[in-house]
């Protein structure tokens, strides 16, 4: 599928924060690429723009396929999957990085492959390298020739320049030069490799497939789809090297530090049927709704989720508040991306292509709308208009995350700060801008309580990365500071 034919994202999705990718790998199973395709399908929510798979078989060597579009539209074709034989394979689904919408080339689609003196290796990366510009400049000045615009390619070039004698050691060398957030799945001719950065910002889990197979995945839901047993999370700063014969070898090549897992994984990015830190994502989101109801009560007749991401929090809010829960907004599950050319007339239909109001339920009611976040606010305004058009007496927004007022530089596609509604307006100003009767967000302490931190957020040593809410970045975004971005302390 050429880039010219890749359909544009729907306006509804453009007002959501996007996790930029999902990664998956297996070793020790027949037709490993088929397992990877299934895993990537389960991780499609983490990246819907493009996907790629690399496999290895001794008699065929390394083979790869990279395509724009959904996994189901590409990697379910027998003719393609037959070109990816072997018992070892990794894959990747992605969104493009901030600022590059519509400019993605097939060369930017991972996994990336490199041929070294000791053999080939492929790598797939979830996260963002915050010193990639400086590394790229240094590598180019020393003779490296880049094939993509992706920050992830820096890892391959750093590995090529390492003097270590085996590929896992070269990867350690390379990742010690990298700043930011990274979960990596890589493969050689015999090994499946997984690594998390010392802060553990992005997720990575280990699963067991049958008697001798192993899997690495961004989330546990992708282990479920291939019938793998969840073993454990890869620890922050851990590297695992896995073979079908020898099993899992673990090491910790980075200097130990306090972990800072991305708290927005709990709020929105991860699928509700995944497990994070031993906790059900669904149950955490339901608990966010409970905390939200305790912090922001309101007199109303109906609690409605903004589907689908607001549903668990709305259930929790309704249960705690005693206000009846109802599906006041129905999502068209078969819409996907815009199915016709987005003419001006179609654009003006806005979210109605994906969402429709259950008029009989809404009419005359004071409605609490529960959503996961407010980013630009454009979708929230359109949903409010739809609810009022259906005859609602009042509209109250309750948001299952604190105000998103800072961009993420660790692998989430976030608008520039001035385009974030919460960065330029107070809560009251946002309420007036959206035109609703009330607007309230869960507090940062309330969010921490919902994810299991009974005492709330430790202000001196936060337990999670919450930079998008607090402006406190656990790793300074060196490249962005070089470009003029001002940290909170410098404002």
Active site (catalytic) residues: 21
Tell me how far the alpha carbon of residue 101 is from its chain's centroid: 17
Residues whose CB falls within 8 Å of the CB of residue 422, separated by 6 or more in sequence, listed in order: 374, 403, 404, 405, 430
Separation CA 462–CA 239 (nearest Å): 24
CB neighbours of residue 406 within 10 Å: 21
Element (H, E) at 30: none
Reference 413, options 50, 15, 92, 111; nearest CA is 15
Is residue 480 classed as helix, strand or coil in its secondary structure? helix
Is residue 204 classed as helix, strand or coil in its secondary structure? coil
Residues whose CB falls within 8 Å of the CB of residue 303, separated by 6 or more in sequence, listed in order: 314, 317, 318, 321, 323, 324, 325, 326, 367, 368, 370
Strand partners, 368: 303, 396
Element (H, E) at 66: strand 61-68
Is residue 24 classed as helix, strand or coil in its secondary structure? strand
Separation CA 117–CA 165 (nearest Å): 9
DSSP code of residue 148: S
Separation CA 434–CA 394 (nearest Å): 13
Separation CA 163–CA 174 (nearest Å): 11
Separation CA 485–CA 362 (nearest Å): 44
Separation CA 246–CA 248 (nearest Å): 7
Whose tokens are 């983490």? That residue is: 46
Separation CA 118–CA 127 (nearest Å): 27
CA angle at residue 53 from 208 to 173, to 5 degrees? 75
Is residue 261 classed as helix, strand or coil in its secondary structure? strand
CB neighbours of residue 18 within 10 Å: 24
Separation CA 12–CA 255 (nearest Å): 42
Token code pair at residue 364 = 């005359």
């Amino acid at each position: 599928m050429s880039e010219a034919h890749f359909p544009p994202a729907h306006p509804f999705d453009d007002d959501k924060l996007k996790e930029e990718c999902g990664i998956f790998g297996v070793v020790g199973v027949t037709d490993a690429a088929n397992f990877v395709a299934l895993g990537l399908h389960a991780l499609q929510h983490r990246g819907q723009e493009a996907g790629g798979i690399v496999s290895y078989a001794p008699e065929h060597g390394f083979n790869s396929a990279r395509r724009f579009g959904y996994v189901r539209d590409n990697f379910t074709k027998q003719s393609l999957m037959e070109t990816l034989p072997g018992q070892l394979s990794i894959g990747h689904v992605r969104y493009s990085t901030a600022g590059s919408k519509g400019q993605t080339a097939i060369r930017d689609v991972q996994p990336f492959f490199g041929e070294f003196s000791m053999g080939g290796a492929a790598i797939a990366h979830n996260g963002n390298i915050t010193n990639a510009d400086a590394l790229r400049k240094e590598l180019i000045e020393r003779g490296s020739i880049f094939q993509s615009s992706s920050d992830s390619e820096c890892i391959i070039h750093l590995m090529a320049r390492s003097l270590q004698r085996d590929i896992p050691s070269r990867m350690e060398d390379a990742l010690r030069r990298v700043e930011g957030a990274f979960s990596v799945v890589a493969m050689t001719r015999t090994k499946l490799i997984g690594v998390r950065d010392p802060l553990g910002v992005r997720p990575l889990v280990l699963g067991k497939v049958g008697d001798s197979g192993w899997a690495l995945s961004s989330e546990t839901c992708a282990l479920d789809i291939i019938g793998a047993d969840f073993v454990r999370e890869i620890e922050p700063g851990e590297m695992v090297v896995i073979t079908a014969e020898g099993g899992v070898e673990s090491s910790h090549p980075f200097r130990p530090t306090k972990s800072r897992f991305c708290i927005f994984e709990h709020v929105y990015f991860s699928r509700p049927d995944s497990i994070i830190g031993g906790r059900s994502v669904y149950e955490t989101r339901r608990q966010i709704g409970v905390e939200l109801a305790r912090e922001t009560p309101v007199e109303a007749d109906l609690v409605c989720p903004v589907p689908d991401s607001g549903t668990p929090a709305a259930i929790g809010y309704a249960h705690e508040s005693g206000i009846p829960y109802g599906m006041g907004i129905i999502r068209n599950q078969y819409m996907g991306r815009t199915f016709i050319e987005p003419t001006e007339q179609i654009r003006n239909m806005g979210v109605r292509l994906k969402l429709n109001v259950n008029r009989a339920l809404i009419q005359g009611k004071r409605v609490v709308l529960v959503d996961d976040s407010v980013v630009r606010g454009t979708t929230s305004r359109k949903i409010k208009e739809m609810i009022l058009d259906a005859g609602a007496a009042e509209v109250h927004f309750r948001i299952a995350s604190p105000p998103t007022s800072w961009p993420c530089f660790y692998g989430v596609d976030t608008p520039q700060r001035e385009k974030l509604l919460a960065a330029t307006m107070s809560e009251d100003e946002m309420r007036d801008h959206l035109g609703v009767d009330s607007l309230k967000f869960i507090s940062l302490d309330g969010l921490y309580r919902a994810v299991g931190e009974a005492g709330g957020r430790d202000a001196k040593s936060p337990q999670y990365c919450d930079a998008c809410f607090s402006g406190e970045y656990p790793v300074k975004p060196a490249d962005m500071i070089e470009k003029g971005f001002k940290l909170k302390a410098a404002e």
